[in-house]
Copies of this chain bind each other. A is one copy, B any other.
Amino acid sequence: MAATENSEALTQRLADSGLRSTPQREVVYNVLLKKRDHPTADEVFSRVKFELPTISLATVYNCLETLVQCDLVRAVNFERAPTRYCPNLRPHAHFHDEQTGRTHDIDLPPAVLEKLNGVLPRGFDATSVEITFRGKATKFTS
């Protein structure tokens, strides 16, 4: 996908919510797309500063929040550690490697999602489900 495509997608999504496309929002989003290692706001901040040295941390938080609102990015929480951000929009779980601290995306097939919804008793209406594995990734993992 060309970078301009992402950029246009971003502009479109922002417009849909009555928001503007700004250099800060563009760069924050591109940083997330470029290295999908579930960075924290601080990590995003330091990566963005290469391109926009004068950006403030508050703006990074604002942009991330905006992207989450537009459904372009997911906020990922693990215990009480700093929130991490993830531009993977497919339904997926997270695997938290306790040795390395790294977070891996685990795709969730529709069948599993259905099975999961099946555990909800009558009267519980879920709009979303969040799944986090903890353990260690032994091998075959990048």
Cβ-closest 5 pairs across A and B: A123-B140, A126-B135, A126-B133, A127-B135, A130-B132
Flag if B134 contacts A127 (CB, 8 Å). yes
Interface residues of A (CB under 8 A from B): 75, 77, 79-80, 83, 93, 95, 98, 104, 106-109, 112, 115-116, 118-141
13 further contact pairs, Cβ within 8 A, besides A120-B133, A127-B135: A77-B77, A80-B83, A109-B119, A112-B116, A112-B118, A116-B116, A116-B131, A125-B136, A125-B137, A128-B134, A128-B135, A129-B131, A129-B134
B residues within 8 A CB of A106? 119-121, 124
- CB within 8 A of A140: which of B108, B121, B132, B138? B121
